[in-house]
Chain A
Amino acid sequence: MPTYTDMTRCDGCGDCVDICPSDIMHIDPVYRRSYNIEPNFCWECYSCVKACEQHAIDVRGYADFAPLGHKVRVLREAKKGSISWKIRYRDGRIKEFTFPIRTTPWGSIKAAQEYENPDLRALGSPLLAHEPEALHVAALPTIKKA
């Protein structure tokens, strides 16, 4: 379902242009607001929809196979680690869901270099970082060569 930007909600902040994995959210030359320049390369990944703080971007199902009158809208609340969906069917039926998206605070991942320096003699072994402990088994499996 390609995306479209609401004329009066978009305040031209550029977050959608920044995030789009397909490079298809760009700035319209007449209104200086965002729009989808290539709906046929839109995967409806919802990255731009979720990134827009004004909720100015929505999705309309691909005209090839999605009849009109539906809405699938989302509210991603990163600070709560949650995502909520509200789906309106063409016949008016509504469905709502909320799911978790993260259990730890954003920015809290311990970077690889924050761990103690590895023993470089282990470079020749097949063990990857944090192994074997992170495997939760005693040793890394291997196959004895014939």
Chain B
Amino acid sequence: MFTTNPFAVLTDFLSPLAMQIYVVLMALAVVAGTLFDMVHKGSAKFFAQHRDESEARAQRRLGGGEKVSLAIATIAEAAVSGEFCKWPRRLSHLLTMYGFLLYVITTVVMIFAYPARDSAPPILPMLWTVGALMILAGGLWFFFFLRVNVSHDGASPFHLGQADLFIGSLLASAAFALIWDFMQTTYGHSIPTWIVFGAYIFFTTLLFVSVPWSKFAHMFFKPAVAFQRKLEEANGSSDLPGPAAENYIVRS
């Protein structure tokens, strides 16, 4: 645990190729799911229509350089989870988001680059563990305290609904990943270890395969729309009023 690549240990029973194929399949599932969402639900068509309507209302043309800098600003804002207006939500999202990135990237690197036992530098499994812990810290905080139906709408913290498909499967994947790593380290390839490994694979698969029904794809849609909004503000087609020129609060 912590310093040993758990996937390399798994090669006693599963070939690295099998694991690599699984990773590629999950990546394809996300792509396919997102495309399915966009095409079948028509969200791509909606977005294109909206973009055309706002371009027709544009009061000035934006240069290529301007668009690039707005795109960078959008990415920068997403990188610091700036779209969240309340700090607990923002903080928990940062934890969960960067935890997820760490967890996924180290998984892919360990499976593709270091399949042989003891070949991975200890930093990789350490970061993998940290990533999973960050997901749990941010995600559990969010799940029990910050979900808006719980914090504002009277739902029980244990309430589960379709909206929780993404966060639920993500939390389960990370939790079972850590438990499996611990069990594999402590009890080797025993039945209980296999059971936990099964749960880990089940929830991880669910996470990536449920994209058409979960909020996973919104991680792509939201920045796209945020970029579109920035364009509209810049080219004058936004239907929101601009900031007021005057300050009316005169007395101290």
Query: Per the CB under 8 Å rule, do A and B touch in the complex?
Result: yes
Whether the pair A105, B241 counts as a contact (CB closer than 8 A) is: no
Stretch at the interface among A60-68, A93-101, A119-127: A93-101
1/0 per residue B212-252: CB within 8 Å of A? 00010010011001000100000000011111111111111
CA distance A82 to B248 in the complex (A): 6
6 contacts between A and B (CB under 8 A): A12-B147, A75-B241, A80-B248, A81-B248, A98-B241, A98-B246
A-B contacts, CB under 8 A, total: 110
Whether the pair A14, B153 counts as a contact (CB closer than 8 A) is: yes
1/0 per residue B69-100: CB within 8 Å of A? 00000000000000111100100000000000
Closest to B246 in A: A82
Distance in Å: Cβ of B17 to nearest Cβ of chain A: 38
Is A42 at the interface (CB under 8 A from chain B)? no
Within 8 Å by CB of B248, from A27, A55, A73, A103, lies: A103
CA distance A104 to B250 in the complex (A): 6
Binding site for A on B (CB under 8 A): 83-86, 89, 147-149, 151-153, 155, 161-164, 215, 218, 221-222, 225, 229, 239-252
Q: Which of A82-126 contact B (CB under 8 A)?
A: 82-86, 88, 96, 98, 100-105
Within 8 Å by CB of A73, from B151, B240, B243, lies: B240
In the complex, chain A residues whose CB is within 8 Å of the CB of B152 = 14, 17-18, 27
Whether the pair B249, A27 counts as a contact (CB closer than 8 A) is: no
CA distance A124 to B59 in the complex (A): 67
Is A53 at the interface (CB under 8 A from chain B)? yes
Within 8 Å by CB of A102, from B164, B215, B239, B249, lies: B249
Whether the pair A27, B149 counts as a contact (CB closer than 8 A) is: yes
Whether the pair A84, B246 counts as a contact (CB closer than 8 A) is: no
CA distance A98 to B242 in the complex (A): 10
Closest to A52 in B: B85
Closest to A55 in B: B240
CA distance A30 to B162 in the complex (A): 5
Closest to A30 in B: B162
CA distance A27 to B146 in the complex (A): 13
Within 8 Å by CB of A77, from B84, B244, B250, lies: B244
In the complex, chain A residues whose CB is within 8 Å of the CB of B147 = 12, 32
In the complex, chain B residues whose CB is within 8 Å of the CB of A53 = 85
Distance in Å: Cβ of B179 to nearest Cβ of chain A: 27
CA distance A110 to B52 in the complex (A): 52
In the complex, chain A residues whose CB is within 8 Å of the CB of B243 = 75, 77, 80, 84
Whether the pair B245, A14 counts as a contact (CB closer than 8 A) is: no
**Of residues B85, B164, B248, which shows the largest number of chain A Cβ atoms within 10 Å of its Cβ?**
B248
Distance in Å: Cβ of B211 to nearest Cβ of chain A: 14
Whether the pair A11, B89 counts as a contact (CB closer than 8 A) is: yes
In the complex, chain B residues whose CB is within 8 Å of the CB of A74 = 241
Whether the pair B248, A32 counts as a contact (CB closer than 8 A) is: no
Whether the pair B244, A11 counts as a contact (CB closer than 8 A) is: no
Whether the pair A79, B249 counts as a contact (CB closer than 8 A) is: yes
CA distance A84 to B68 in the complex (A): 30
